[in-house]
Chains A and B, each alone.
Chain A
Amino acid sequence: MTLTFDRLRKQYGQVVAIDDVTASFAPGLIHGVIGPNGAGKSTLINMTAGSYSVSAGSIALDGKRLDTLKKYQIANSGVARTYQNIRLFDQMTVLENLEVCFYPADVGGTLKEVTWPPYAAARRERRREKCMETLRLFDLQGYAQAEAGSLPYGRQRMLEIARALVCDPRVLLLDEPAAGLNHHETAELTARLAAQRLPDRITIIVEHDMDLVMSLCDNIIVMHHGKLLFQGTPAEVQASPDVQLAYLGTANDIDDIRAAAQDRRAQLGIRARRRS
């Protein structure tokens, strides 16, 4: 089972956001996607999840085309995602945010749920159990009945990841999961994501936090101006002069890349605080 991009291209009017990207993502690994602002990282995630259409080329999971499917069908093929700007169901409770993910599996039993209380109770209990289990992984069990929109920013990030994980996705797409988190939260997140590295799961993380990327990812893709600039292990990426150049123009070591990422994080932290 592999996720593949074949000569993928995305154009917004005149802007070419993704230019002829071919790549493949093996299961069991965590793949990092890095690159400067505007490199096209989110666009890759958005096309894979079906939020954006594909201008040319194709995306396939297990040889089955994804780019021809509707967004909900892609989700039902086992692709789950988070968003660069958190998108929760704000007025629903934390628990409901996860429960509703069982819609595709359970909707067929709706009539029975409405008319036969014991069946409804059993279904609800089963959904609840699974959701609580996932919430516990992210230390959110105490918030189960809280309104999602009322959580602190960091918890909202965690909840969004929990929502993506609750139905056991085959492909997990995370767009800047550590954005706006403090050091402590980022460390926790890194540990939790490491625990989610399953043999049959493809995880793709877009992230500016180099510590997280370097410690978590097995394979890194570097994007630059919509092109795939480099692909390799964290060590290879750190050693690549091309990558340093892409990030800083004149960079000469990984510390500079880190510094750039730190700046970026500070910037996002401000944004996060404004949001909440």
Chain B
Amino acid sequence: MRIIINREKCIGAGNCVMSAPAVFTQDDDEGLVIVLDPNPSDDLADAVAEAMELCPGKVISTE
């Protein structure tokens, strides 16, 4: 699984960080998403799916 983000659309709501803290964090200057782990292992698939579902800006996708 590879994480793709459209950072321009991020509103810094932080839901992705709550769902998958090993994969996402936020920068200190604007609170926007940063991908910590662009190729998360399969055991993180549920957490990533939750992050995608809860992201209000439809910022996150996977391939």
Same assembly:
no
Chain B residues engaging chain A, CB cutoff 8 angstroms: none
Chain A residues engaging chain B, CB cutoff 8 angstroms: none
